[in-house]
Amino acid sequence: VISIRPVLGLPEIGEGDDLAELIAERGELEDGDVLVVAQKAVSKAEGRLVRLADVEPSERARELAGQEDARRHEVILRESARIVRSRPPLVISETRHGFVCASAGVDSSNAPERETVVLLPLDPDASAARLRERLRELTGAEVGVIVSDSFGRAWRQGTTDVAIGAAGVRPLLDLKGTRDRVGYELHATVIAIADELAGAAELVLGKTDGVPAAVIRGVDARGEGTASELVMPAERDLFR
């Protein structure tokens, strides 16, 4: 049996906050738990914010923005390694991390003040590793940490949360070599557990209620992987 519990009572997160400490005080963490933290809380603690008043939009940003605020699209362009699809004001791009997502992960909802946008962490795997290390220091518990974000999907409606950073978890479970009941090798089955954990946690994260973290107990997902392993390598990608 798996349980998923929201970490309640966290204050609004600001730059420089010790996010691990705030969670440690409320999370009742135990060895083997997986802590899922929403990207926005991590980014805010790391000061990954841009004030739109400081941004001068380029011509390209104005084209992509359509009727919307071109300064936000300028930030999206700066966060993008390449634009995958666009239909103004919608932009799907590949970030420097290799993630393909809307607006290069740049988001204005839940920003600490109006006219400010929140960027993805520079290195979400490193963010997860720091949180994990600090939580061990504060609580003694060996937990896995996932930094999650809501991504849209090709061909399907709606977003699901996925892992953009991970530490102390096995992001992919490879069933290669295991056999099913009649002896077939399940040769093509690699399960993206870290994404399923992130999506499961989203079910208790309030998008509007300020609940940016959840604790999952009962899943054996221990390992030493990173979320960067979840990015499809270019040579295997049929959709580049």
Least spacing, CB of residue 56 vs a copy of itself, in Å:
23
- Closer of 1 and 56 to a copy of itself (Cβ): 1
Q: Do the strands 173-174 and 213-217 form a parallel or antiparallel pair, or are they unpaired?
A: unpaired
Inter-CA distances, 41 with 20, 79, 128, 149, 179, Å = 11, 18, 12, 10, 41
Give the contacts of 57 (CB within 8 A, at least 6 positions apart): 65, 70, 71, 73, 74
- Closer of 56 and 154 to a copy of itself (Cβ): 154
Least spacing, CB of residue 24 vs a copy of itself, in Å:
19
- Closer of 59 and 158 to a copy of itself (Cβ): 158
Q: Residues 201, 166, 207, 215: is their CA dihedral positive or negative?
A: positive
Least spacing, CB of residue 141 vs a copy of itself, in Å:
19
- Closer of 51 and 189 to a copy of itself (Cβ): 189
- Taking the mean position of all CA atoms in its chain, how far away is CA 2? 21
Least spacing, CB of residue 14 vs a copy of itself, in Å:
12
Q: What is the residue type of 43?
A: S
